[in-house]
Amino acid sequence: MKKFQIVFIAIIIIFLAACSMESPFVNNDSDDDDNIKIGLSISTMENPFFVTLHDTIVKEAKEQDMDIVTVNAQDDASVEISGIEDLIQQQVDILLINPTDSAAVSSAVQSANAAGIPVITIDRSADEGEVETLITSDNISGGEMAAEFIADTVGENANVVELQGIAGASATRERGEGFHNIAEERLNVLVSQPANFDRTEGLTVMENTLQGYSGIDAVFAHNDEMALGAIEAIKASGEDIVVVGFDGVDDAIAAVEAGELTATIAQQPNLMGEEAIATVKAVLNGNEVDEVIPVPLELKTKE
């Protein structure tokens, strides 16, 4: 009997030890191991646009009985890469990546490729590595829309300040490219300054620009957060300057309706999120998807 008890206790100890060795990367949020597990890397949760994108993806995934693990890159390329590597270790079935830096994220995409995990990028592309598709607005077209609106509203050869986004982001490159496609022919760009898609930096950069330049007619900001920061600086200066943003977040739409922000090139993050989960299903079912899935843009002005 004593031998039997010893053997029984030994079995229990081995069982408990095996349980304690479970990988710390395993997602225990679901009771069903058969569910599709999505890994989502979001560039930041400080920007309302990306909050809406994140929340829509999570909502749509849950409605489809998919599990989802999210990591927040905090607009930091090194944090982004580390988070994606963690998702790969968790053996997710597919990765949705909203890159902070299109060049820096490439190594993480290549790691996912090596692990056999399909990758979908959202809003911004990855410079290298294999992705199934990019779900995005036409940022070049949006930049062109902004420049045309400024030229039509203020006039040809208007003096314009450009507030740029994060240097390595494809959205920064493409919105700037589209803007300059028109601006080089119709506007006078006084200065282009980075403000990193951040409202506080937009305020600071605009304050400094107002001190250094006179006769500014308009501002084009690569996103609404920078545009809203610029508005605060302009209001404090007493100047009357046209400001155009990009994204169409709730705060920007409210500012347009209040007559503070002249216009915004509105994206649709909710539609991007819905499209992301629909594309996840298509990819995992073995269906071919387009290299780029476009999401429509709309110029929002006060009605």
Q: Per-residue pLDDT tens for 122-154?
A: 999 999 999 999 999 999 999 999 999 999 999
Closest CA to 279 of 50, 70, 72, 118: 118
CA–CA separation, 57 vs 263, rounded Å? 27
Same domain, 144 and 256: yes
Contact 244, 263 (CB under 8 A): yes
pLDDT surpasses 70 at 28 = no
| Rounded Cα gap, residues 245 and 279, in angstroms | 29
Q: What percent of the chain has pLDDT over 70?
A: 89
Percent of residues in the chain assigned helix, strand, coil, to nearest 5:
45, 20, 35
Query: Which burial class, exposed, middle or buried, applies to 137 when counting CB atoms under 10 A from its CB (0-12, 13-18, 19+)?
Result: buried
Q: Are residues 98 and 189 in the same domain?
A: no
H/E stretch holding 243 reads: strand 242-247
Report the domain count for the chain: 2
Q: What is the mean pLDDT of residues 257-274?
A: 96
- State the sign of the Cα–Cα–Cα–Cα dihedral 133, 87, 75, 78: negative
- Whichever domain contains 114, its CATH number is 3.40.50.2300
pLDDT of 90 strictly over 80 = yes
| Stretch (H or E) spanning 219 | strand 218-221
Assess whether 291 and 181 both reside in one domain.
no
pLDDT of the residue at 25: 34
pLDDT digit string, tens, across residues 152-204? 999 999 999 999 999 989 999 999 999 999 999 999 999 999 999 999 999 99
Residue 27 lies in a domain: no
- 32 pLDDT tier (thresholds 50, 70, 90): low
**Same domain membership, residue 221 and residue 172:** yes
Q: Based on the domain organization, do 205 and 187 belong to the same domain?
A: yes
Task: Enter the pTM of the model.
Answer: 0.77
Calculate mean pLDDT across residues 77-98.
Answer: 97
Q: Let me know if residue 76 belongs to a domain.
A: yes
Tell whether the model's pLDDT for residue 31 goes beyond 70.
no
Residue among 133, 65, 64 nearest 97 (CA): 133
Residues 123/165, Cβ–Cβ less than 8 Å: no
- Which of 190, 197, 242 shows the shortest CA–CA distance to 222? 197
The rounded mean pLDDT for the chain is 91
For residue 1, is pLDDT > 80?
no
